[in-house]
Chains A and B, each alone.
Chain A
Amino acid sequence: MSPELRDTLTEALQQVQGFIYPNELNLVWSVVIVVYPYLTGLVAGAFIMASLVRVFHVKALGPIYRLSLLTALAFLLIAPLPLLTHLGHPERCLEIMMTPHLTSPMAIFGFVYAWYLMAVLLLELWFDYRRDFVVWSRTEKGWKGLLYRCLTLGVMDVSDPALRLDHRMGNIITVVGIPSAFLLHGYVGFIFGSIKANPWWGTVLMPIIFIFSAMVSGIALVLFMYLCVSSFRKVPLNRPCLETIGQFLFYALVLDASLETLDWVHRLYEAEESIGVLVLLASGKLFYTFILVQVFLGTVVPLVLLGAMQVWKDRPNEHVRRDLYFLSSILVMIGIFAMRWNVVIGGQLFSKSLRGFTTYKLELIGQEGLFMSVALLALPFIILSVMLKLFLPPSHMSPPDPPPGE
């Protein structure tokens, strides 16, 4: 063995505990793959919030209806980027859609994504906004007027029957959109859950856990955005709306935490061959991100805060409650990010020989580094702020009023 190779080997062995298969030394799915399910989860969750208003007639959530839809769109537009930055050959990415291998859950991604973007979100937003586009295209001048005119797609009819059709179409699309949102994120969970080679991932609960964690993170994001937008625009908060979001966040978090607990109870009770290495993983390599961030900061603390606010409806005062909701939303979003981290990175830290661990070194710069991930997480917020400027004047926070006759 050459001295150079020997040095490399010595260095490599330092990042290994126990025995791993030699090819497992480097993690092939990096932090950008953590960002990907995080983003799609936020999309699905935000859409569910909008559907609560439209389909389930939760009137109190009216003020965040359009905000939720725009949030979902901004995040969905960026969702495939982490995958692209990760691919060894991004220039071949369209092969997934042109020549899909239909037994692969990953091949279905292109179709689920396209369906959700084209058939659900864009269509729904278009029907919701068509009347506004027509009105704005007449009132606005310059490039904004031109933009709104283009967005009408030439349909300038704002008669009552046309608006009734818009409204009905919006309802139909939302009804179709709810299972689609579940499909979008459930499918991401299935990508992990279907890998029988990896006991940390390969559980039937994985898609369900992903769906509920998506709802939790999406609701938290909408809550966060609502508080930010209101504060930034100096618009008074709608108290019932805030309290209702808080309520839904609490219920979703209870369900999500229960499912995750069930997963662990099931694993510990069955105590299969892999349980030893998984317990070591959770309590060792993932101690900070799992026990501390995901379980304690991201679940227990917000559960206590949100739970307490459900019990005491009038105390503390409004300002403190707002701050506590703000804090809870941030904690929950961090907690769900930690959950994605623990799934994606955690699942690669232990060897499939179940005899040892490797180490993940997070790069700072580079295609799959920390800065890239931060950029990918910041980008949807930038897009969203532009969208809010263009499409969400303070008077348009509520859903479009049903036209006469509906």
Chain B
Amino acid sequence: MKNRAVSRRRMLGTIAKATVGVWAFCVTRPARAVAEATKELVQKSAAAGAVPGDYDPTAHSWRMMIDIEKCIGCGLCAEACKKENKVPLKPCYFRTWIERYIIKRAEPGSDDARGRTVVDSPNGGIGGFPPTAVPKEEILKSFFVPKQCNHCANSPCDQACPVGATFSTPDGVVLVDPKYCIGCCFCIHSCPYGCRFLDPTTRTVNKCSLCYHRITRGLKTACTEVCPTGARAIGDLKNLAPGDPVQVFLEKNKVQVLKPHLGTHPRMLYAGLDKEVG
């Protein structure tokens, strides 16, 4: 009996070890492959476009900075983005757009410091903004806020994608692989910033790719390239040159991100954000 008990125990032990071994093999194998696969994905995926073969995503870390005080609402960035990335022209598809905020003076006799805020973004700001209907004397201040994908470090869209068509690259960009996206639109709902849309031409989700096909070649994003006032700046935190606009931006400004309470940790940094901007 004793021998039988021992042998059974041994057998159970062997089964347990084998199970753990198989499990470890199954789990760690894909885990080991992830780093390599991501790199390969970045280089091969259609979302990334034709990324140069020698580009190493682990050697870069991209950030975009926006200085609200410098934005004049000309809309060139939104227009350039549509042309560069072949975004449908209809006024409900934007990879980047500009919002105009007009904060009114407080009503006479009211206890408020400021009045109502009026926001608009006709055609995403492309072609500039028409004069506002708010009478000039009622305006306390107004400003423009460029918006686009925040390439969040804790990205809710990446988390939500059921097939992994949306993914984060090691260099800090969130991309969509249109050859893999099933078009369920769950990511569109997960994005708190309204940055994603279902592209009617491909029936897949589309959004700002931070012009990945450009930045991996040492070029600026299309929106940064055309900005006449330098309101936008893009830089590589791992390869900052002396006097780099991103370094200057970080040194000179108090920076803020959009909807910080949601814990998405956006990589888009803003200077001069007003509390009304959401």
Contact = CB atoms under 8 A, between A and B. Distances in A.
Given A104-B162, A107-B162, A353-B278, A28 B185 contact: yes
A89 to B, nearest CB: 5
Nearest to B158: A103
Contacts of B94: 22-23
B159 interface: yes
A22 B121 contact: yes
Nearest to B263: A196
Contacts of A83: 184
B interface residue count range (under 10 / 10 to 19 / 20 to 34 / 35 or more)? 35 or more
B194 A351 contact: yes
A89 B203 CA distance: 7
B160 A353 contact: no
Contacts of B161: 101, 104
Residues of A contacting B: mostly: loop
Interface in A13-31: 13, 19-26, 28-29
B199 to A, nearest CB: 9
Interface string B164-203: 1000000000000000111111101111111111100011
Contacts of B164: 99, 101
Residues of B contacting A: mostly: loop
B204 interface: yes
Given A89-B181, A106-B160, A107-B162, A23 B186 contact: no
Contacts of A195: 156, 160, 189-190
Contact of B160 (A5, A29, A104): A104
A376 B147 CA distance: 39
B91 A28 contact: no
Pick the most buried of B184, B204, B205: most chain A CB atoms within 10 A of its CB.
Answer: B184
Nearest to A192: B189
B274 interface: no
A87 B263 CA distance: 29
B168 to A, nearest CB: 11
A311 B250 CA distance: 71
Contacts of A347: 189
Contacts of A352: 192-194
Interface of A: 1, 5, 8-9, 12-13, 19-26, 28-29, 83, 86-90, 92-93, 95-96, 99-101, 103-107, 109, 191, 195-198, 201, 347-348, 351-355
* Nearest 8 pairs of A and B residues by beta carbon: A88-B183, A21-B194, A88-B203, A197-B192, A107-B162, A25-B92, A101-B164, A106-B162
16 contacts: A19-B99, A21-B121, A22-B124, A24-B194, A28-B188, A28-B189, A28-B198, A92-B180, A95-B163, A95-B180, A100-B163, A104-B161, A109-B162, A197-B190, A352-B193, A355-B278
